[in-house]
Amino acid sequence: MAILLKGGRIVKKFLLYFLAFVFICFLLPALLTKREEPVNSEKIEENNEMQNNEVSTTENIADESAYQYKNYGTIQLLHKKTGEVEKVELDQYLCHVVSAEMPADYEQEALKAQAVVARTYTIYKVRNKKHDNADICDDSTCCQAWISKEDRLARWEEGKRDANWQKIEQCIKETKGKIITYDNEPINAFFHANSGGTTELPVNVWGGSGFPYLQVVQTAGEEGYTQYASEAEFSKEELIEKLKTKYEDIQIDFENKEDIKILEYTDSNRVKTVKFGNHEISGVETRTIFGLKSANFEITKQSDKIKFTVKGFGHGVGMSQTGSNTMAKQGSNYEEIIKHFYTGIEIKEINSL
């Protein structure tokens, strides 16, 4: 009997150990392991769609806020003919300026260079106000040219109107916020149609001390443009008549070869001083009196006529538009074009001012 009791206790003890072993090895790990929820493919697709929407929303916001003007986002534009002052968005204003100042069939990079130049010129005018009630006007003889969209479209070929306007808008968009600076200040970004091969110093056009970023630079490839060469002829009577509008006492001996003579040229080969009888006149003034396209001219006498043979179109200071188009055709981008025509400058964001 004692032996059976002892044997029963041994069996019972063995069962207890066995159950403990099973619990530790199998049941306990199962209880401690986190059960995975069954895969719900619809929920996964929903989550992925939400993530995609969040990315898309972020990209849209980034596109819309790619460049936000801290200042100068709008300007006060004076319409000279009506006297009306209009508040306009800067880049929308530039669409009207670029479309008035440069042919839309010019290269994309040339138009982009013009957009940056026009933006810079505008900001320079805003910071150096000339008009009491406005930042800038639409008169090219005072500030820079401007044309309404309606008038601009009407002057383009019908089949090119929308494409031309979109091209200009794109050039302004791709250079948004970009301006040209010297010593971290916007430059006085002069430009002209055709330099005749060489740009001019501002001191030779308007006097003063000039600007360090406006130097004489060579411009290749302008000969193929209609703006490169022109002529003007005047009879002796017409010549005297035009000179008398400024110099009433003008006297010229047309038989004397020395009475009409160029006396001096500038470094860019433009006329600095020319003699007309009893007066010595600057080349710039001569250009104005006779309506010449440039101060880069030669004078020849032909029987009873005086002939001016002219190279280039405009004052010659700063960027040549035909020169920029030639550079663009040769592969230069708008920054390279700008840095060719303006010396020692940087192209910066307007918000850095």
Q: Are residues 283 and 134 in the same domain?
A: no
Q: Are residues 215 and 234 in the same domain?
A: no
Judged against a pLDDT cut of 50, whether residue 11 lies above it is answered with no
* Residues ≥6 apart with Cβ < 8 Å to 320: 191, 192, 193, 194, 195, 199, 219, 222, 341
Please give the pLDDT value at position 140: 93
Q: Are residues 111 and 133 in the same domain?
A: yes
Helix count and strand count (H, E) for the chain:
12, 14
Strands (DSSP E) contained in 169-267 are: 178-182, 185-186, 191-192, 229-235, 260-265
- Could you report the per-residue pLDDT of 235-247, keeping only the tens digit for each? 999 999 999 999 9
- Could you report the per-residue pLDDT of 113-147, keeping only the tens digit for each? 999 999 999 999 999 988 999 999 999 999 999 99
Q: Would you state the structure tokens that stand for residue 126, as one six-digit string?
A: 């805003």
* Residues ≥6 apart with Cβ < 8 Å to 335: 347
Q: Are residues 132 and 162 in the same domain?
A: yes
- Could you report the per-residue pLDDT of 31-80, keeping only the tens digit for each? 444 443 333 444 334 444 444 443 333 333 334 446 899 999 999 999 99
Q: Are residues 116 and 190 in the same domain?
A: yes
Please give the pLDDT value at position 15: 55
Please give the pLDDT value at position 2: 42
User: Does 31 reside within a domain?
Assistant: no
Q: Work out the percent of the chain whose per-residue pLDDT is above 90.
A: 78
Question: Computed from CA positions of residues 29, 30, 31, 34, in that sequence, does the dihedral angle turn out positive or negative?
Answer: positive
Backbone phi, psi, residue 274, to 5°: -135, 140
Q: Are residues 201 and 268 in the same domain?
A: no
Q: Are residues 254 and 210 in the same domain?
A: no
User: Does 257 reside within a domain?
Assistant: yes
Q: Would you state the structure tokens that stand for residue 252, as one six-digit string?
A: 């010229």
User: Does 210 reside within a domain?
Assistant: yes
Let me know: does 274 contact 281? Beta carbons within 8 Å: yes
Please give the pLDDT value at position 35: 40
* Residues ≥6 apart with Cβ < 8 Å to 28: none
Rounded to a whole number, what is the distance in angstroms from the first to the last CA of the chain?
108
User: Does 186 reside within a domain?
Assistant: yes
User: Does 239 reside within a domain?
Assistant: yes
Q: CA–CA separation, 282 vs 72, rounded Å?
A: 39
- With cut-offs at 50, 70 and 90, classify the pLDDT of residue 302: confident
User: Does 174 reside within a domain?
Assistant: yes
Question: Computed from CA positions of residues 88, 80, 99, 219, in that sequence, does the dihedral angle turn out positive or negative?
Answer: negative
Compute the radius of gyration of the chain from its Cα atoms: 38
Q: Which of 198-202, 206-210, 288-292 has the lowest mean pLDDT?
A: 206-210
The three-point CA angle 75-187-81 to 5° equals: 40
Distance of CA 307 to the CA centre of its chain: 38
Judged against a pLDDT cut of 80, whether residue 203 lies above it is answered with yes
DSSP state of 217: -
Q: Are residues 80 and 153 in the same domain?
A: yes
Looking at the structure of the chain, the number of domains it has is: 2
Judged against a pLDDT cut of 80, whether residue 152 lies above it is answered with yes
- With cut-offs at 50, 70 and 90, classify the pLDDT of residue 9: low
CA distances from 73 to 104, 136, 309, 336 (A): 24, 14, 45, 26
Q: Which residue, 147, 222, 199, 223, is CA-closest to 341?
A: 199
Strands (DSSP E) contained in 45-124 are: 74-78, 85-89
Question: Computed from CA positions of residues 183, 187, 193, 198, in that sequence, does the dihedral angle turn out positive or negative?
Answer: negative
Q: Are residues 238 and 92 in the same domain?
A: no
Q: Would you state the structure tokens that stand for residue 344, as one six-digit string?
A: 């020692």
CA distances from 303 to 178, 184, 235, 237 (A): 54, 56, 9, 13
Let me know how long the chain is: 353
Judged against a pLDDT cut of 50, whether residue 345 lies above it is answered with yes
Q: Residue 31 corresponds to which amino acid? A: L
Q: Residue 224 corresponds to which amino acid? A: G
Q: Are residues 173 and 321 in the same domain?
A: yes
User: Does 284 reside within a domain?
Assistant: yes
Q: Are residues 211 and 325 in the same domain?
A: yes
For 283, the domain range is: 229-311
Q: Are residues 252 and 217 in the same domain?
A: no
User: Does 253 reside within a domain?
Assistant: yes
